[in-house]
Amino acid sequence: MNLKTRNIWLFCFILLLGASSSNAQSLETEIRTGADQTENYVPYLKGKRVAVMANPTTIIGNRHLVDSLQALGVNIVKVFGPEHGFRGNVSAGEHVGDEKDLATGIQIISLYGKKNKPTKADMADVDIMLYDLQDVGVRFYTNINALVRLMEACVDSDKEMLILDRPNPNGYLIDGPILDMKYKSGIGMFPLPMSHGLTVGEFAQMANGEGWLSNQARCKLKIIPVANYNHDMPYTLPVKPSPNLNTQQAILLYPSTCMFEGVYINHGRGTQYPFTVLGSPELKGKYSFSFTPTSIKGMAETPIFMDEVCYGLDLRNYDTEELRKSGKINIQWIMELYKAHPHKEKFFESKFSNQMNNIEIQIGNGLFRQQIIDGVSEEEIRKSWEPGLSQYKEMRKKYLLYP
């Protein structure tokens, strides 16, 4: 082999080594959810009677955690189901009944129907509660409310909770007014901003530390953190977290577009692209884009403006990197649609919009409606969220599991 040929082979070998090293490094730094790290918690569960709070996001790899743990010899005695049900086939806000899981025969107890919290009788044959639900990092996503009630049930029965943590797809985003507790509701129970920048494990620590459980009790927690994760990392969910958050685009826009729950605008419910389109029949002539909401079982069975053509904004191809760069929710869309709406007296009135939540409940304060009506600038609106937002950001640091 001549010198030139040998050098070429050596160069290729070095490139190959570099590629192998890079691939190995990539594998080492791959995000691993708490659930994926079975080696860190299955031995702890062995010999215990386990209850699980679960829905379709409760997975190990591409298999449901309940099925996987049973196969690994873990004794699961019951499953508690949140909003949308254990299998995720119930529309938002609809009550869910108790049932037996057809796949496993395990008793499923609904916490989104006749009761929202396990009783002492429910907990009597349980040694440890396992919580593993994907969250999306906003105040009005009800999983965190269910988590606190579950923590309270554990306190009442002197049981420990094991949390298998998952990344927050909106983990970079900490924005919005802090909930004024005067507007406490089923979609806002704690003094958080609209987008809180926490994983469920971090939130559970905050709920304990800030005294948000009944009687300021503290739940015994064991948390399996996400491996190789920080809050700035983009994260694409492998399973839709609920029927109407059915795309990554919807999940990333949700902190900004869910406020439209409280106004006279359809925000994509009744379509296959909820939270990514916004419109009303009364905006005809103002916008060229249109869509028609219909009744969709398991997603939205009676959406606002059902079977009417709505005109407005199409955000399906909006570059969500703009939100990431700004680090802010977008309030320009609601400001724009209010200005464009021909019947402004209807815009914020829930009696017209047929919505469950008025804008004060959704946003979490009593100023926002009048600010939009008065044409207050975004800068001034954001100033009104202080000093609460900055104080929250400082308080949050005490409970972080990730950079």
**188-240 pLDDT tens trace:** 999 999 999 999 999 999 999 999 999 999 999 999 999 999 999 999 999 99
194 and 263 belong to one structural domain: no
Q: In order along the chain (403 residues), what is the average pLDDT of each group of 10 residues?
A: 47 41 45 98 98 95 94 95 57 55 81 86 97 97 94 98 98 98 95 98 98 97 98 96 95 97 95 98 98 94 96 98 97 98 92 75 96 98 98 98 95
179 and 265 belong to one structural domain: no
216 and 300 belong to one structural domain: no
120 and 256 belong to one structural domain: no
Yes or no: say if 263 and 359 are a contact pair by the CB < 8 Å rule: yes
Cis peptide before 387 (omega within 30 of 0): yes
Yes or no: say if 280 and 305 are a contact pair by the CB < 8 Å rule: yes
- What pLDDT score was predicted for residue 83? 59
Residue of 313, 353, 356 lying closest to 91 (CA atoms): 356
Alpha carbon distances (Å) from 113 to 76, 104, 143: 22, 22, 14
Work out the burial of residue 273: count CB atoms within 10 Å of its CB; fewer than 13 is exposed, 13-18 middle, 19 or more buried.
Answer: middle
| The token pair that represents 305 in the structure block | 């403006």
200 and 285 belong to one structural domain: no
Asked whether residue 391 is domain-assigned, the answer is no
Alpha carbon distances (Å) from 201 to 97, 212, 341: 27, 15, 42
| Span 261-309, pLDDT tens digits | 999 999 999 999 999 999 999 999 999 999 999 999 989 999 999 999 9
211 and 304 belong to one structural domain: no
- What pLDDT score was predicted for residue 116? 87
- What pLDDT score was predicted for residue 3? 45
- What pLDDT score was predicted for residue 97? 55
Q: With pLDDT > 90 as the criterion, what percentage of the chain qualifies?
A: 80
73 and 144 belong to one structural domain: yes
How many domains does the structure of the chain reveal? 2
280 and 209 belong to one structural domain: no
Asked whether residue 229 is domain-assigned, the answer is no
Residue of 42, 108, 107, 90 lying closest to 70 (CA atoms): 42
- What pLDDT score was predicted for residue 104? 76
- What pLDDT score was predicted for residue 185? 93
Q: What is the CATH number of the domain that holds 200?
A: 3.40.50.12170
Task: Please tell me what DSSP assigns to residue 84.
Answer: T
Expressed as residue numbers, the domain containing 61 is: 38-224
Asked whether residue 306 is domain-assigned, the answer is yes
Residue 348's identity, in one-letter code, is F
90: left (phi over 0), alpha (psi -120 to 50) or beta: beta
Buried-state track 61-95, b at ≥16 Cβ within 10 A, e below 16: eeebbbebbbeeebebebbbbbbbbbbbebbbeee
Asked whether residue 382 is domain-assigned, the answer is no
